[in-house]
Amino acid sequence: MKLHREGFKIIFITLLVLTLINFPLEMFFMGEWYTDTVLVLSVIFFVLIVQFFRDPHRETPVGDDLIIAPADGKVVVIEEVDEPEYLKTKCRQISIFMSPVNVHVNRYPTSGKVLYEKYHPGKYLVAWHPKSSTENERTTVVVEHPKGQVLFRQIAGALAKRIVNYAKVGHLAKAGAEYGFIKFGSRIDIYLPLECEINVELNQKTVGGETIIARWS
């Protein structure tokens, strides 16, 4: 299993701390029921941390008209909204909620040139809160495709305290390629032109880099 580089430090620190806890217990209290209990709980906790930072290979569908899911998770919003930060027009918003058990690698939903990226410090409301899109810590990226502009936003949740964004203005984005990571759960909002054909439904599960969420008309 491939692990994401954002997890290397956390995994190492977790392993070190758990070793420092369990080694003295095994040395001085071997055979006690609580020693075995702590060891089992430590192993479970370590496995959960490791699986959170997994980075599986994805086969991205090929097609200039395809818009791909930027994250694993569940579709929680599909609606027409005004996008005030950059596009400043009515768009179709698709929001994907990522639980702590999902893969948290974020991928470009479309190919094109990165026109805009901005980090916004903020609160840590639960990711499904209506105001999380505008009040939580978040990072906005805009990519210009030959058929239009797509804005997508990483939003921190109650557990996610760290957003990582690799996109930079001027970069050439490739649909399905990694552009960021959100540590410990959250959501991504995607804003599409109204003429795009939506290809997902509410509560549908998505696979980042593989699920086709919309098509350019």
Q: Which sequence positions are flagged as catalytic?
A: 186
212-215 sheet: strands from edge to edge: 66-68, 212-215, 197-198
Q: Which of 211, 217, 24 is nearest to 103 (CA)?
A: 211
